[in-house]
């Protein structure tokens, strides 16, 4: 098995975390205004296009495969109104260099909507409906193009100042998606790799022309079959260590059969906390041939969170996550989902019989029957029973009073929870303290010139 890409620690001052300042291909065309935030595999900066002053987000992705996946998905989805717009990108020439995606800048996200609504007490039903409609349109576009998002959560649903919600973060950057991956080359992932080479360092017109070309777009669609969804191990036992079991408050309610090379082997890879809350049971049980239904489960969790303003299943470990789901929906049995006992980890973890499951109604107190019904249509154990994005969009809930508010009357948070930006300071400190040899990684660039520009 090839070595898996490891996530960058966000606390360490890694040279890669601000290497964008040394990228002449970017700094020549964009002013970098500061770091917006960092994910497991990427740093995102706010930038301004020099040619016309357009605000952009510059996403520097430190993992080769994540960048390939995100570019592929965003090209396939170009023009979809509820998917973040990829304006252009600079491809990584090899595994030591980062790809940089130039995205439209979106100042808020759904996590901030929920945060602000907690202060106000609730999100008005007409607003919940409008947010849901936009999420559903984005998801419908993804599934129509055979793109499975795999990481739907409030912080990945970005919002423009005028209330347009867009699905973002298509890199499946969470650790759980890359556990056990064979290292593939971009040539394997994308037979049309030559197209990417052409875009690198191209001037903006050339690059945009490349993005607009039907050839590039169709080539992306053609690779759908090449991008196997069986390439990861997101299972409960793969992503939790025995430490998770020891610390688990529900420990008494299940028994767990550790296999040689099972949880221990992957014990360190437990960092998908936000994502875990939205993860479908088939993934937690180790399924490797799942489909777009995993996004529909996440959507059900998201919808419940918009209604309750609290996460529905806030698991503290992957086993705790399953335990919480089972306590609400009941045990996962052949009756609930014929064939579930074939899930890879089904026979490795046993939960006590839940005589009286809590039920989704009890988890959604004071909500209407149509709201509860819609959550139920999405949160089914059997993936085949989950309502599709299109079916959900046509659910009578959206046609009932109160009707969805117009997009322009949505209350848009003034900001998301921004991480402290220390990128420019780190860059300056690095230049002051490190030896010349380290600066060699920036090639022949004049470091004083870069420092002056970005201080
Ligand atoms: N187009 C954009 N406009 C504005 N901010 C963005 C944009 N894209 C991403 N961001 C912000 O940049 C930060 C990092 O984003 P990124 O997608 O890399 O990671 P994440 O979603 O926080 O974490 P992970 O990828 O590990 O799930 C987040 O705060 C995100 O909201």
Test site for ligand 1: of 70, 74, 169, most ligand atoms within 8 A of the Cβ: 169
From the list 46, 2, 3, 28, the residue with the least C-alpha distance to 418 is 46
Residue 344: CB atoms within 10 Å: 17
Q: What are the helix and strand counts (H, E) for the chain?
A: 20, 10
Distance between CA 20 and CA 454 in Å, rounded? 11
Prior bond of 402 cis (ω within 30°): yes
Atom of ligand 1 nearest to the CA of 107: 4
Give a three-class secondary structure readout of 57-104: EEEEECCHHHHHHHHHHHHHCCCCCCECCEEEEECCCCCCCCEEEEEE
Atom of ligand 1 nearest to the CA of 109: 31
Please name the residues in contact with 290: beta carbons below 8 A apart, sequence gap of 6 or more: 229, 280, 282, 283, 383
Give the mean model confidence (pLDDT) for residues 378-396: 98
Q: Which of 63, 151, 169, 233 is catalytic?
A: 151
Is residue 97 a contact partner of residue 288, using CB atoms and an 8 Å limit?
Answer: no
From the list 196, 189, 194, the residue with the least C-alpha distance to 228 is 189
> How many residues does the structure list for the chain?
455
Is residue 447 a contact partner of residue 420, using CB atoms and an 8 Å limit?
Answer: no
Distance between CA 42 and CA 173 in Å, rounded? 8
**Per-residue tokens: 101:** 């995606």
CA–centroid distance, 156 to ligand 1, in Å, is 7
User: Is the pLDDT at 9 greater than 60, yes or no?
Assistant: no
Name all residues whose Cβ lies below 6 A of ligand 1.
Answer: 36-40, 42, 44, 57, 59, 84, 103-106, 109, 151, 155-156, 158, 168-169, 173-174, 416
Distance between CA 8 and CA 62 in Å, rounded? 8
Distance between CA 379 and CA 363 in Å, rounded? 13
59 carries a ligand binding annotation: yes
Q: How far, rounded to the nearest angstrom, does the alpha carbon of residue 224 sit from its chain's CA centroid? A: 18
Is residue 46 a contact partner of residue 57, using CB atoms and an 8 Å limit?
Answer: yes
Is residue 171 a contact partner of residue 201, using CB atoms and an 8 Å limit?
Answer: no
CA–centroid distance, 148 to ligand 1, in Å, is 18
Alpha-carbon dihedral angle through residues 223, 229, 231, 236, given to the nearest 10 degrees:
160
From the list 62, 358, 72, the residue with the least C-alpha distance to 216 is 72
3-class DSSP state of 253? helix
**Per-residue tokens: 372:** 């509860």
Give the mean model confidence (pLDDT) for residues 284-312: 96
> Which helix (H) or strand (E) element contains residue 440?
none
Residue 310: CB atoms within 10 Å: 11
Average model confidence (pLDDT) across the chain:
75
C-alpha triplet 44, 50, 55: angle, nearest 5°: 45
Atom of ligand 1 nearest to the CA of 61: 18
Q: What is the pLDDT of residues 301-316, one digit of tens each?
A: 999 999 999 999 999 9
User: Is the pLDDT at 214 greater than 80, yes or no?
Assistant: no
Residue 65 confidence class, pLDDT cut points 50, 70, 90: confident
Q: What is the pLDDT of residues 302-355, one digit of tens each?
A: 999 999 999 999 999 999 999 999 999 999 999 999 999 999 999 998 899 999
Atom of ligand 1 nearest to the CA of 40: 26
CA–centroid distance, 16 to ligand 1, in Å, is 17
Residue 42: CB atoms within 10 Å: 24
Distance between CA 127 and CA 119 in Å, rounded? 16
Nearest CA to ligand 1 atom 28: 37
CA–centroid distance, 19 to ligand 1, in Å, is 17
pLDDT at residue number 415? 74
Q: What are phi and psi of 217, to 5 degrees?
A: -65, -45
Indicate if 247 belongs to the active site. no
Q: What is the pLDDT of residues 240-258, one digit of tens each?
A: 333 344 444 444 454 444 3
Is residue 128 a contact partner of residue 402, using CB atoms and an 8 Å limit?
Answer: no
User: Is the pLDDT at 151 greater than 80, yes or no?
Assistant: yes
Q: Whole-structure pTM over 0.90, yes or no?
A: no
CA–centroid distance, 170 to ligand 1, in Å, is 10
Residue 326: CB atoms within 10 Å: 22
Test site for ligand 1: of 8, 155, 279, most ligand atoms within 8 A of the Cβ: 155
Distance between CA 99 and CA 94 in Å, rounded? 9
Q: What are phi and psi of 422, to 5 degrees?
A: -120, 15
User: Is the pLDDT at 147 greater than 90, yes or no?
Assistant: yes
Q: What is the pLDDT of residues 410-419, one digit of tens each?
A: 999 987 765 4
Distance between CA 428 and CA 420 in Å, rounded? 16
């Amino acid at each position: 098995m090839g070595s898996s890409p490891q996530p960058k620690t966000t606390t360490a001052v890694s040279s890669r975390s601000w290497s964008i300042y040394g990228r002449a291909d970017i700094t020549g065309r964009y002013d970098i205004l500061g770091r917006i935030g960092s994910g497991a595999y990427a740093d995102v900066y706010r930038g301004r296009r020099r040619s016309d002053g357009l605000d952009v987000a510059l996403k520097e992705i430190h993992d080769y495969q994540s960048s390939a996946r995100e570019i592929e998905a965003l090209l396939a989805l170009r023009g979809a109104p509820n998917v973040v717009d990829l304006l252009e990108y600079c491809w990584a020439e090899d595994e030591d260099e980062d790809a940089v995606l130039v995205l439209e800048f979106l100042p808020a996200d759904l996590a901030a909507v929920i945060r602000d609504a907690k202060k106000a007490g609730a999100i008005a039903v007409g607003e919940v409906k409008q947010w849901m409609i936009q999420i559903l349109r984005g998801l419908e576009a993804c599934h129509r193009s055979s793109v499975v998002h795999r990481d739907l959560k409030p912080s990945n649903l970005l919002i423009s100042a005028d209330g347009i919600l867009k699905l973002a973060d298509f890199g499946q950057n969470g650790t759980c998606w890359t556990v056990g991956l064979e290292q593939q080359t971009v040539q394997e992932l994308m037979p049309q790799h030559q197209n990417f080479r052409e875009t690198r360092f191209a001037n903006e017109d050339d690059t945009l022309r490349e993005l607009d070309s039907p050839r590039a777009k169709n080539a992306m669609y053609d690779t759908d079959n090449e991008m196997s969804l069986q390439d990861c191990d997101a299972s409960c036992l793969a992503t939790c260590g025995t430490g998770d079991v020891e610390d688990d408050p529900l420990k008494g309610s299940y028994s767990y059969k550790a296999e040689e090379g099972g949880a221990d082997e992957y014990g360190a890879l437990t960092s998908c906390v936000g994502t875990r809350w939205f993860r479908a049971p088939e993934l937690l049980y180790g399924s490797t041939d799942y489909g777009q239904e995993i996004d529909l489960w996440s959507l059900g969790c998201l919808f419940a969170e918009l209604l309750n303003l609290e996460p529905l299943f806030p698991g503290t470990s992957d086993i705790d996550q399953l335990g919480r789901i089972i306590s609400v929906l009941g045990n996962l049995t052949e009756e609930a989902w014929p064939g579930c006992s074939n899930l890879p980890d089904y026979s490795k973890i046993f939960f006590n019989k839940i005589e009286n499951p809590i039920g989704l109604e009890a988890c959604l107190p004071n909500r209407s029957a149509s709201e509860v019904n819609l959550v139920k249509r999405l949160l089914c154990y059997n993936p085949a029973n989950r309502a599709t994005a299109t079916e959900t969009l046509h659910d009578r809930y959206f046609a009932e009073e109160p009707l969805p508010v117009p997009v322009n009357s949505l209350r848009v948070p003034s900001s998301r929870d921004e991480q402290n930006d220390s990128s420019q300071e780190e860059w300056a400190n690095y230049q002051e303290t490190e030896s010349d040899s380290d600066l060699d990684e920036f090639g022949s660039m004049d470091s004083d010139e870069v420092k002056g520009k970005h201080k």
